[in-house]
Amino acid sequence: MPVQTILLYPHPILKKLCRPVADIDPEIGGLIRDLVDTMHAGPGSVGVAAPQIGVSLRVCVVDVSASRLGKENNHGLLVMVNPEVVAREGAAVMREGCMSIPDYTGDVERATAITVHFTDESGNAREVAAEGFEAVAIQHEMDHLDGVLFLDRIVSLKTGLFRRKNYR
């Protein structure tokens, strides 16, 4: 499937609550392929959510395995339909960026370990315990499904928002 254009903030769909997916049908399969292709094409991307490509459905993909931060601790490609965090622990501040806000990064506080329940691309219910960078990436993508951007979670707008020097 083709790489899709990433919507940029302040596009209104990025701030909307996404609808749940009823069935994993061929249309959802195509959306998943588009998300995976778009994630792999993005510079340094470790995840993409459906609203970022203009689809207001609760679907996102995460794969931190190629990132130096996630290389040692990851579940590979996670395709998550209707994901829900069912447990969280700890908290840490980490610098985040987003393809929908390419000119900035920011310091965001997130749980350091989460358990997420979701349906995979085959329609199977799954539960994954993630920690560290993978947990942060999952939380970031799931926020998109609720219309929340990392800008909404910056620890301090005065000291925690940074203009990106280079985006590739």
Q: Which residues have a catalytic role annotated?
A: 141
Identity at 25, one-letter amino acid code: D
Separation of alpha carbons 98 and 46, rounded Å: 10
**Nearest 10 degrees: Cα torsion 43, 45, 49, 51:** -20
CA dihedral sign, ordered 149, 81, 51, 38: positive
Let me know the angle formed at the C-alpha of 158 by 155 and 162, rounded to the nearest 5 degrees.
80
Instruction: Quickly count: other Cβ atoms within 10 Å of residue 48's Cβ.
Output: 29
What is the spatial distance between Cα 67 and Cα 55, in angstroms, rounded to a whole number?
A: 26
- The side-by-side arrangement of strands in the sheet containing 161-163 is 92-98, 101-110, 161-163
